[in-house]
Chains A and B, each alone.
Chain A
């Protein structure tokens, strides 16, 4: 159960090997989270993440496998998560791929891989976990969206489109869950320094996995619906949204 100050006891991290996923799990365990499921593809990263969380005080850390692209397996994966630990207070959607924009522009296979990982795969798992949370009558879903979904950019519009779809779906899902005890928090980070973005030029107002984790922690405690990381991006993006397209596509972002 979450406590009356929003403290989380049990978390399921989808994308448990990702830097944002792990940073968030560390932040939660530093508070009062004691049961963690780290789920993802890369077992090595998951195992070392699990060891670290145990050292930090988690009393139960489970490592589980899932593949966002293998949609047929999602229901049984969700069922297994709940049958392993019981009620889950927080499901963190921290998986995703950046993909190769250049390839994706002429090879639909790569474009669909990006869309299927970040959007359709996430939708499948969002619905599955929302049903579970509704049945237990409490809990939060945290969805890692991106500023890239806020306005499509020439340089990464396939990734941007997948996040735009995920963001729109999550907003509607959050509204549909009002009154069920289930809460959806959408997180829109800017450029985050991680291995996913290694070698890319950092955009202005770039941030770190730890800062994203802190914003998620704070957003859950306050019951927020959307947070931007850093917070200043909200103002920046609401300006950029209105920049005319001929000008926007020439901007160095």
Chain B
């Protein structure tokens, strides 16, 4: 019996919808099937793709094979005593929330969307609003199973195989195909968040507030209006919160404190013209967003979706940007380089590059992953529609700024950083390459990101 179904040629793009390339998408029917494909050493290689939320070219493999990693999913073991779960790597965080929240467990880290797989979460070493308190997703992984570039199954853990484990965590899928992971969960009493909201009138004010009291909260994130200029440049809204306790909930919510709905409200149809998201529509949106928070607000009760994943309310929201798509730019710079964040926001604000609310966050300590993105410092992320001819130059300039300040750009969001900038941004790149050479010696694991950056 065939262990995998040969795939159809498909044009694939990242979540930003730019630069589609053609690949053969294969749905493996088992771990054996994955090993078999890798052992055949297809000429232009193989990359695993989960739910396709990487914005750029991380999960593309032009002319080669793209493995549909969502084909293998489900919980394989739940240790309720210790709060440890083992899942197939194609399982989405959304499914985990649906299955585990009713039992009082939450994922250790969730990004701004729950529509990502566990394998993707590890490969991109994702972070969330609790990075300053809890680190990245990889920090909570106890062990994982990986099929490396030779088709050999490996069991990786931070204690027994630290090099391989940490090369894989944040390794953009280039050490092999992650098939299973075991990680810690967070116990929760309710599926609600208790949220404090503050308005900051400009970037200085915002960063001061964050530096001041972030440590009192497990979750913290700020939304910046990048189109505001003058005295209110960098104005923003700061949301900080905790998992709500049962006693925090109003009586009507206590009846079903662990309720969780993953339903999106609408699906965006593929009819939006490029150019709909422009500096005027975005300015109007940002103004409304800023004004809806009239004043500081303490102890509001939000659902998980409201607090963590507002964009998941609209399925395929990336279609709002039209056929030309958009890019996401996310960088981090160390503490002490606050001036670089200021300069970046200034340049964006002056260029009028239309960005819906940019996200600003303080990172906590880094983990041992050589390509793991978060470093202690500040991170700013923003979405910009493709179309303005000045965009490429603007972002190239920001790359230089970030590099000069000892920072880096997040590869899971990237589709355009120049090759020459990479080693400066990731000084441990060669150490990572040495480990990868032992796990993927013939270069069978391959992606468009790896080709572009010469990884």
A32 at the interface (CB under 8 A from B): yes
- Tell me whether B63 and A137 are in contact (CB under 8 A): yes
Interface residues of B in 1-27 (CB under 8 A from A): 9, 11, 14, 16, 18-23
- Tell me whether A137 and B451 are in contact (CB under 8 A): no
The SS class assigned to the A binding surface is loop
- Tell me whether B62 and A138 are in contact (CB under 8 A): yes
Q: Which residue of B lies closest to A179 (CB)?
A: B11
Q: Which residue of A lies closest to B325 (CB)?
A: A4
Residue in contact with A4 in the complex, picked from B11, B23, B416, B451, CB distance below 8 Å: B416
1/0 per residue, CB under 8 A from A, across B51-94: the answer is 00001110001111000000000000000000000000000000
Docked CA distance A166–B419 (Å): 36
Interface residues of A in 195-244 (CB under 8 A from B): 218, 221-223
The residues of B that contact A179 with a CB separation of less than 8 Å are 9, 11, 22
Query: Chain A nearest CB: distance from B122 CB in Å?
Result: 24
The residues of A that contact B23 with a CB separation of less than 8 Å are 137
- Tell me whether B451 and A87 are in contact (CB under 8 A): yes
- Tell me whether A137 and B62 are in contact (CB under 8 A): yes
Of A1, A32, A135, most B-chain CB atoms within 10 Å: A1
A128 at the interface (CB under 8 A from B): no
Q: Which residue of B lies closest to A133 (CB)?
A: B63
Question: Total number of A-B contacts with CB less than 8 angstroms?
Answer: 77
A31 at the interface (CB under 8 A from B): yes
Of A6, A136, A137, A180, most B-chain CB atoms within 10 Å: A137
The residues of B that contact A1 with a CB separation of less than 8 Å are 57, 62, 448, 451-452
B311 at the interface (CB under 8 A from A): no
Residue in contact with B11 in the complex, picked from A5, A6, A181, CB distance below 8 Å: A181
A2 at the interface (CB under 8 A from B): yes
Docked CA distance A1–B20 (Å): 11
Docked CA distance A7–B19 (Å): 10
Docked CA distance A180–B10 (Å): 8
The residues of A that contact B386 with a CB separation of less than 8 Å are 4-5
- Tell me whether B62 and A221 are in contact (CB under 8 A): no
Q: Which residue of B lies closest to A9 (CB)?
A: B452
Q: Which residue of A lies closest to B55 (CB)?
A: A4
Tell whether A5 pairs with B63 under 8 Å between CB atoms, given A87-B451, A136-B44.
no
B415 at the interface (CB under 8 A from A): yes
A3 at the interface (CB under 8 A from B): yes
Query: Chain A nearest CB: distance from B212 CB in Å?
Result: 37
The residues of A that contact B419 with a CB separation of less than 8 Å are 9, 34
B389 at the interface (CB under 8 A from A): yes
- Tell me whether A5 and B416 are in contact (CB under 8 A): yes
Interface residues of B in 404-452 (CB under 8 A from A): 415-416, 418-419, 448, 451-452
Query: Chain B nearest CB: distance from A183 CB in Å?
Result: 10
Docked CA distance A9–B451 (Å): 10
B256 at the interface (CB under 8 A from A): no
Docked CA distance A233–B9 (Å): 38
- Tell me whether A5 and B327 are in contact (CB under 8 A): yes
- Tell me whether B21 and A138 are in contact (CB under 8 A): yes
- Tell me whether B63 and A138 are in contact (CB under 8 A): yes
- Tell me whether B22 and A3 are in contact (CB under 8 A): no
Residue in contact with A221 in the complex, picked from B44, B56, B392, B418, CB distance below 8 Å: B392
The residues of A that contact B418 with a CB separation of less than 8 Å are 32
- Tell me whether A135 and B63 are in contact (CB under 8 A): yes
Docked CA distance A7–B57 (Å): 13
The residues of B that contact A137 with a CB separation of less than 8 Å are 21-23, 44, 61-64
The residues of A that contact B9 with a CB separation of less than 8 Å are 179-180
The residues of B that contact A180 with a CB separation of less than 8 Å are 9, 22
1/0 per residue, CB under 8 A from B, across A131-146: the answer is 0001111100000000
Tell whether A136 pairs with B392 under 8 Å between CB atoms, given A4-B416, A87-B451, A181-B11.
no
Tell whether A31 pairs with B392 under 8 Å between CB atoms, given A1-B452, A3-B19, A137-B23.
yes
B142 at the interface (CB under 8 A from A): no
- Tell me whether B57 and A181 are in contact (CB under 8 A): no
Q: Which residue of B lies closest to A6 (CB)?
A: B19
Docked CA distance A179–B11 (Å): 6
The residues of B that contact A222 with a CB separation of less than 8 Å are 324
The residues of A that contact B56 with a CB separation of less than 8 Å are 4
Tell whether A181 pairs with B20 under 8 Å between CB atoms, given A3-B452, A87-B451.
yes
The residues of B that contact A4 with a CB separation of less than 8 Å are 14, 16, 18-19, 55-57, 325, 327, 386, 415-416
Docked CA distance A134–B62 (Å): 9
Apart from A1-B57, A3-B452, A34-B419: 9 A-B pairs, beta carbons within 8 A: A2-B19, A4-B325, A5-B392, A32-B418, A134-B22, A135-B63, A181-B11, A181-B22, A223-B324
Q: Which residues of B contact A (CB under 8 A)?
A: 9, 11, 14, 16, 18-23, 44, 55-57, 61-64, 324-325, 327, 386, 389, 391-392, 395-396, 415-416, 418-419, 448, 451-452
Nearest first, the 5 closest Cβ-Cβ pairs linking A and B are A4-B415, A137-B63, A137-B62, A181-B22, A4-B18
9 A/B residue pairs, CB under 8 Å, sorted by A: A4-B55, A4-B57, A4-B325, A4-B416, A5-B392, A7-B392, A137-B22, A137-B64, A182-B22
